[in-house]
Every structure is written in structure tokens, then in C-alpha cells.
Amino acid sequence: MTLYSRIAGTGSYLPPRRLSNADLVADLARQGVESSDDWIVERTGIRARHFADTGVFSSDLAFEACKQALNAAGRGPQDIDLVIVATSTPDMVFPSTACILQHKLAQLSPEAAGIAGAPAFDVQAVCAGFIYAMSVADAMIRAGNARRALVVGAEVFSRLLDFQDRTTCVLFGDGAGAVVLEASEQAGILATDIHADGKHVGLLCVPGHVHGGEVLGHPVLKMDGQGVFKLAVGVLEETARAVLAKAGLQDTDLDWLVPHQANIRIIQSTAKKLKLPMDKVILTVAEHGNTSAASIPLALDAGVRSGQVKPGQLLMLEGVGGGFAWGSVLLRY
């Protein structure tokens, strides 16, 4: 018997504080930084983003998204035997955000305490993190090392932004998305494809670290926008074609592209290379901005809950982020 992993439920959560471009531009103006709604929309397609309040962490956003995903799957925390969180903004240096999330889920009810003891760990591949996490969970389920996994992308990227740099601070937002991935005899995830090349580390990074109780370096996001764009459009096409080839399928077989929601221009370029009309692309970048590892599961859940994504359809999830890391997941929903 061939064992697959299959999505049983999806969930998402955005913190309540929504900042439209007008809101953000007004905030920036008070700090002496110029921008405009037109400038942001023209270059990125972003019209709003959500920021978490002080004292709200990635595990808090993940917790809310996981409750939705578990409910959609008809499961409780006690049914989960693997927790993987993709994040670049962990609650602490250690332990992992996944362990913190696991403990919060265990407190939902006496039965929920059954999640304790399951392996829980973080994956750090920045905006490609959810793709990496799905790939790891799929491999563990296929190997028989887990039966049911919570796979989460959660970020409070607003904490990493330099609000004196208008080229980056307008791009990112906070949020979380989650899926319940279950072992199944029915094909779900058909193929995965992940890559990294550390020579591009300088294109997108947060070059700071903790040492002796102090933060050294520059703990805010630095990005070469043109460099990221040129690299992203190339590797996204490559990984898309690679994952299709692994499954013996063509781009014409795709029902939906669920891309990392970084920039409308990158998304449009990728769709064009795959000869996909934009009405076959799930888009949330306008309302969410770039939520890094959370963007793909947020978009996936939006597609499912809107009724766009239907059972049996063929989906390609793909993302690229700092590292540089990139990859794709091909699945039958």
C-alpha cells in the first residue's frame, strides 16, 4: 500500500489591527518618511497589511490559525502527533515556537493534553518556510513516522522592519496560516521540490544577532529589491517545472497556483511563464502584504473558504525567500 499525506483542513488568522496604505503613509509622514498609496500599489499591488499589537507573538497567531484548521479537519489537538512551525520571527531565541504552540494547544481541554509528547520543531527558510515545512511533514508521514501533522506558517514581520526605509517597510505584514496534514491511501501531496543557495544571503537578510545580552549588527530587514526580483522569477519557474516533472504532469493540468504573496509583479511573471491566466492564481497580497512563511497558507485558506479551491483540484504551492531558499509543493486538494 502506498501511503500519501493529504490536507484535511486549513485555517488562518490575521491580527485585528489593519493598516491601509493611507494609514501607513500617514504614520511614515510623522516620522519624516515620504510615500504614497499610488507608489505602493504600482510597485507591489499591496493595499493593506495587518500588524500584531505589542505583546502578541507568532505562537499566538499560530494558535488561532491552528484552531481553525483543526475544526475544519474535524480533529482536536490530541489527534496531532507532529507540529512544525515555519517562522523567521520566533517568540524566543529558544525554545521553538512550535513547542510554545504545542503547550497552548494542550490547554484547550483535558483531551487536548494528548498533543504533549508529539515532536514539535521550527523550520527557518524565511518566505519559503511553509514549503519546506510541508516537505518535511510529507516525508515523515510517508515514512510512517507521523499520522497527522499540524503544519504552520506564522510571522510578526512588523518587528523586523526599518520604518525609515520606505522601500521595505511598506511590503510586509503579520499573520498565520495552518493545515492539518493526514496520512491517506488517497493521493494528496504528489511531489515536492526544495532548494537553497547561500551565496545570495546578502540579497535579503536581517543581519543581527544576540551576544552577551545585547543585540549586535542590524536587527532590521535589508533587501536588494531588484536583485530579489530577478532571482525570484527565475527560480520560481524552475521549481514549478521540476515539481510538475516529478509528478509526470504539465502546467496545463493545474487548477490553481497558490504562490508566496510577495509582490504582484513576481506573481504575474511566474503565472505568465507557466502560461496560467491570473484567474487561476490565488491572490491575497493586496490585503495581507508579504507575510513571509505565513503567506502561502493564508492564501490557501482564503481560496478554500471562498469556494475557489475545490476537492480534487490540482494545486501548486510555491515560494522563495532569504537564504536564498525556494521550492514548491504539488498536491491534489
Marked catalytic residue, from 66, 169, 263, 290: 290
Marked catalytic residue, from 21, 66, 99, 127: 127
Kindly provide the residue ranges of all beta strands, DSSP E only, lying in 185-312, ordered along the sequence: 189-196, 204-205, 208-211, 214-217, 222-223, 256-259
| Cell numbers linked to 71 | 475544526
**Short-list 197, 192, 190, 174, CA closest to 62:** 174
Catalytic residue status for 103: no
Output the CA torsion sign for 179, 8, 274, 248.
positive
| Cell numbers linked to 234 | 527565475
Quickly tell me which residue has 494545486 as its cell. 315
φ, ψ dihedrals at 135, nearest 5°: -65, -40
Catalytic residue status for 260: yes
How far is residue 119 CA from its own chain's centroid?
21
Quickly tell me which residue has 515539481 as its cell. 243
| Cell numbers linked to 162 | 526599518
Catalytic residue status for 290: yes
CA distance 171 to 265: 13
Helix (H, G, I), strand (E, B) or coil at 329: strand
Marked catalytic residue, from 66, 99, 169, 260: 260
- The separation between the first and the last C-alpha atoms of the chain, rounded to the nearest angstrom, is 20
The residues facing 156 across adjacent strands are: 174
Q: Give the pairing of strands 48-50 and 204-205.
A: unpaired
Provide the annotated active-site residues: 127, 260, 290
